[in-house]
A = this chain, B = another copy of it.
């Protein structure tokens, strides 16, 4: 039914091997015949049968983009930016397959026969099991968003600790001392990093660390809302809150509004992530832009490099994050 290289061979009066070589631009074939063959292929609308090709070359043209989960904990904006970034680099010839690690019961189906390479947007330490599994099966992998000590792995991430510290320092520079933090989802590495940055800033500025000001969240709106409620019911209310992501910052903002407080006049808020929505909030949100899309793009470039050229040196690449100053922070006397 479908046109194969043998059909082309017949029409061109050559062997199918020659056709195969011609279409793959082998230097063995004379330019003249090459062109003739390519022309016929074009005319016949020939599309190579990937299954056959992959069977013998032992490749798929699949690149897996894995998230720790596609459910709670992965915000739409974060997800979307990652996919966009990766997809913008993946060429036609690769398929981008999106999966949550938690979609699998076991990892039997994650094999080099299924994926040429894997990009993991890693959000939790629990992913390590998956990572080691992938490495053991010799599938090229690039890990985004988390640092893996193993030195054969390529990791691409922002230094959340430094970025958080920067954000909190900005609050301190504006005269704030009673600074609270709403933490991210427990177990996520990013949660810990951002907390560290917060602590670093306070400690370097010799500000007393008040444990009441450290409240757990889960990275979603609602948890930001309830966390803020908790903070506002304290005997001593903080003058500024650093939220471990923008979604929670929005939740926190609304809790403040609900209590009749004004942002930033009564309480300042800083977020983390720079969701596409954050600039349109009221007040617009001061936050940290991690350039997730860039990270995705970089990861995609790396994995293709890894697949096609087998450059296997592990490395940790830090991408720049940037504090975006808007209007949710006020000067504190």
Contact = CB atoms under 8 A, between A and B. Distances in A.
Contacts of A113: 2, 47, 49-51
A192 to B, nearest CB: 25
Nearest to A250: B280
A98 B87 contact: yes
Interface residues of A, number: 57
Q: How many copies does the complex hold?
A: 2
Nearest to A106: B92
Interface string A195-239: 000000000000000000000000001100100000000000000
Contact of A47 (B80, B96, B109): B109
Given A55-B49, A100-B87, A253-B282, A92 B79 contact: no
B109 A92 contact: yes
Interface string A83-103: 110010000110111111001
Nearest to A275: B76
Contacts of A282: 253-254, 257-258, 282
B62 A277 contact: no
Contacts of A254: 280-282, 284
Contacts of A55: 49, 51-52, 55
Interface string A107-124: 011010110000000000
A245 to B, nearest CB: 12
Contacts of A250: 277, 280-281
A87 B60 contact: no
Interface in A235-264: 247, 250-251, 253-254, 257-258
A105 interface: yes
Interface of A is mostly: mixed
Contact of A76 (B60, B76, B108, B111): B76
Interface in A163-218: none
Contacts of A316: none
Given A51-B60, A280-B254, A105 B79 contact: no
A71 interface: yes
A83 B60 CA distance: 23
A63 to B, nearest CB: 10
A108 B50 contact: no
A172 B198 CA distance: 50
A54 interface: yes
Nearest to A256: B282
Contacts of A108: 45, 47
Given A50-B114, A77-B76, A98-B83, A92 B104 contact: yes
Interface string A260-299: 0000000000000001110111101000000000000000
8 contacts: A2-B111, A2-B113, A50-B60, A51-B51, A51-B52, A97-B98, A221-B277, A221-B279
Given A76-B76, A97-B98, A250-B281, 6 more contacts: A50-B113, A51-B51, A70-B87, A75-B80, A79-B80, A258-B282
